[in-house]
Each structure stands twice: as structure tokens, then as C-alpha cells.
């Protein structure tokens, strides 16, 4: 049975707070990285940006599993997503929408011409879980 | 030995996240609330909150692989530390005090950009410590966003 993203996660994906991604190479070395955008594709898929041919991109092409954490600071919670890489898209509505956001982020951070979307990597959602922070004094 | 530039970075960085993988090569992410470098400049103690412990020790004891990304926000100066699990213990009072210092650094750095986020939300983001994991750092990678990200930083032998 497909795992479906709850509606409550959509504003969290759009909140602009960087997300954290963990992948693992075929020879078993984990890799952690900060990602700027987790794009909602449909209720069973998300897209992540492929900007540079880095370790994360190499890893998911060797071993498709990925773990992503998105933070909902105002909601005092975080969401963890277990994902599986499905395919890449270099044209189409998902690519165009992500490209626009990447360009806006690049422009606002002085990184125009450095951040460039090469592909929208589409992942199937295998699990989704919400965890609440324990409030600190 | 971790280079002096990275030693200094660890003292002013303000947020971190860790990764492990299990026996089936499934990656797992873990929130991190603190870190401190041991006097040998090779062992990094990574402090994690209670909610970060799913798959953590089980994965570390299976294969020892541990990766930690540490960042200085808002400049986005970022390094990833890769290495091998050495040991773990429950967090103690010194960890609580260390995490409190990192929490204050994080709040001071983020509050000017936080918009409607209340200080309480930022304070809760760096959670209370529950467990401390020692790792032997074997590799460090530059991860500041941009085309230089991914470059290996030299870690000299002692």
C-alpha cells in the first residue's frame, strides 16, 4: 500500500527552512547534507533539486534510499521522510517550478549563476513521521 | 589531527545533523544538539536528543559508520565529518551546559532572520541532550553551498 503525505506537511515543505538529507553509498558510507528545497509532487512523491554532481547525487544513483528531515519550528516539530529515488526530470512543470524557486534563492543569497537546477529528482515516499520537540525552558 | 581552522569552526558553529546507515544500507538521520572536540583533536563527541535515537546505536554497533554535518548559520559555512563510532554514554551535566551554549549561539544568529518565529521555538529546536557518541574523525569535507562543496579537507596524521 502506498504511503501518503498528510496535508499538514505541505506548509512545512514550503516554509523555507533548510532540510537535512542522509544518503548512503553502495559501499556503506553515509552522507549528510543540507538541502534548500523539498518539493511536493503529489501525495506519494516529492522532488529534490539536483544542482551539482555531488556525493548525494552519486549515492542515490548507487543506492536509491534517502532520509530527509524537514523542520517545522513554529509548530515545534520535525517530520522525517524515508524516500526512494525514482527518476530525474529535466523538463516539465515540476522542473520549471523548482527552477524558479532555486533562481529566487540564488538571487537572494548572491549565488546567481552558481545555483542552477540540472534536474528535479523524483522520490517515492516510503514513510512519513512527525516528531514533536520537547519544549526547553 | 583536525586542522586548526576546523577546530575554530567547531567553536563558533551553531547547528548540526548526523547520519548513520543500517545493515541493509538504509540511511537514517539524527538531530544533533551539541558537539565538542576531544584534546586529541581526532575524537569528536556528538550529543543527540532523545528523539534522535531511533536506529542510532543499532546502526553504529552494526557497522560503525557515522557522518555529521556542522553548520554556521546564517553564513552557511558547513563541513561534514565522517568517521567511525568509538563509544556512547548517557548525556551528563557537562553536556547540558555545552548544549546550552550552542543553543544561545543559535538563537543569537537566527533571531534577526526568524520573522514571526518566537524565541521559544528557536530555543526548542536545539533540544535537551540525551546521549553522547564519540566518533573518530577520518575525513572532513567542505560543504558550504557552491561549486566547491564536496572538496576534501586534509586531515593530517598525528
- Nearest 5°: phi and psi at A97? -65, -40
Provide the shortest C-alpha distance from residue A77 to chain B (in Å): 8
On chain B, the residues whose CB falls within 8 A of the CB of A102 are none
Which residues face A48 on adjacent strands? A38, A121
- What's the CA gap between B39 and B131, in Å, rounded? 20
Residue A100: pLDDT above 80? yes
CATH top class, domain B4-148: mainly beta
A15 in contact with B, Cβ within 8 Å: no
* Averaged pLDDT score across all residues of chain B: 93
pLDDT band at A36 (very low <50, low <70, confident <90, very high): confident
Q: Output the pLDDT for position B67.
A: 98
- What's the CA gap between B103 and B124, in Å, rounded? 9
Residue-wise pLDDT tens digits, B29-86: 999 999 999 999 999 999 999 989 999 999 999 999 999 999 999 888 999 999 999 9
Would you give the distance in Å from CA B73 to the centre of its chain? Answer: 13
ipTM above threshold 0.90: yes
Cβ–Cβ under 8 Å, residues A92 and A36: no
Residue B134: pLDDT above 80? yes
pLDDT band at B156 (very low <50, low <70, confident <90, very high): low
A20 in contact with B, Cβ within 8 Å: yes
On chain A, the residues whose CB falls within 8 A of the CB of B28 are 22, 67
The reply to whether residue B127 touches residue A30, judged by beta carbons under 8 angstroms, is no
Nine-digit cell string for B96: 547540558
The domain ranges of chain B are 4-148
In chain A, what are the domains?
7-132 (2.30.110.10)
- What's the CA gap between B139 and B67, in Å, rounded? 9
Cβ–Cβ under 8 Å, residues B56 and B27: no
Model confidence, pTM: 0.94
The conformational region for residue B53 under phi > 0 = left, psi -120 to 50 = alpha, else beta, is: alpha
Q: Compare all CA atoms of chain A with the CA of B123 and give the residue at the minimum distance.
A: A136
| DSSP labels, A60-124 | HHHS-EEEEEEEETTTTEEEEEEEEEEEEESSSHHHHHHHHHHHHHHHHTT-BTTB---EEEEEE
pLDDT band at B17 (very low <50, low <70, confident <90, very high): very high
Chain A stretch 79-118, residues whose beta carbon is closer than 8 A to a beta carbon of chain B: 80, 82, 111, 114-115
Nine-digit cell string for A24: 548512503
Which residues face B44 on adjacent strands? B37, B135
Residue A113: pLDDT above 80? no
pLDDT band at B115 (very low <50, low <70, confident <90, very high): confident
- What's the CA gap between B21 and B30, in Å, rounded? 11
Closest by CA position to A29, among listed B63, B121, B53: B63
Closest by CA position to A86, among listed A126, A29, A28: A126
Sign of CA dihedral A126, A68, A135, B81: positive
Amino acid at each position: 500500500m502506498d504511503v501518503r503525505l498528510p496535508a499538514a506537511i505541505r506548509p512545512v515543505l514550503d516554509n523555507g527552512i533548510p532540510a537535512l538529507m542522509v544518503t548512503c553509498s553502495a559501499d556503506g558510507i553515509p552522507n549528510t547534507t543540507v538541502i534548500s528545497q523539498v518539493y511536493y509532487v503529489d501525495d506519494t512523491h516529492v522532488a529534490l533539486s539536483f544542482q551539482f554532481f555531488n556525493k548525494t547525487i552519486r549515492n542515490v544513483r548507487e543506492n536509491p534510499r534517502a532520509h530527509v528531515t524537514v523542520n517545522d519550528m513554529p509548530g515545534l516539530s520535525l517530520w522525517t521522510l524515508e524516500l526512494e529515488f525514482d527518476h530525474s526530470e529535466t523538463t516539465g512543470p515540476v522542473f520549471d517550478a523548482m527552477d524558479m524557486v532555486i533562481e529566487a534563492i540564488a538571487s537572494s543569497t548572491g549565488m546567481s549563476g552558481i545555483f542552477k537546477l540540472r534536474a528535479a529528482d523524483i522520490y517515492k515516499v516510503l514513510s512519513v513521521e512527525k516528531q514533536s520537540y520537547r519544549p526547553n525552558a | 589531527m583536525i586542522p586548526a581552522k576546523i577546530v575554530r569552526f567547531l567553536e563558533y558553529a551553531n547547528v548540526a545533523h548526523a547520519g548513520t546507515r543500517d545493515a541493509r544500507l538504509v540511511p537514517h538521520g539524527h538531530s544533533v544538539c551539541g558537539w565538542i572536540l576531544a584534546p586529541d583533536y581526532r575524537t569528536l563527541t556528538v550529543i543527540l536528543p532523545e528523539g534522535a535515537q531511533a536506529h542510532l546505536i543499532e546502526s553504529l554497533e552494526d557497522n560503525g559508520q557515522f557522518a555529521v554535518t556542522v553548520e554556521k548559520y546564517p553564513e552557511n559555512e558547513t563541513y561534514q565529518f565522517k568517521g567511525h563510532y568509538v563509544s556512547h554514554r548517557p548525556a551528563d551535566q557537562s553536556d547540558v551546559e555545552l548544549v546550552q551554549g550552542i543553543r544561545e549561539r543559535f538563537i543569537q544568529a537566527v533571531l534577526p532572520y526568524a520573522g514571526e518565529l518566537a524565541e521559544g521555538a528557536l530555543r526548542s529546536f536545539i533540544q535537551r541532550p540525551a546521549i553522547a557518541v564519540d566518533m573518530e574523525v577520518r575525513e572532513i569535507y567542505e560543504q558550504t553551498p557552491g561549486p566547491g562543496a564536496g572538496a576534501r579537507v586534509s586531515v593530517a596524521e598525528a
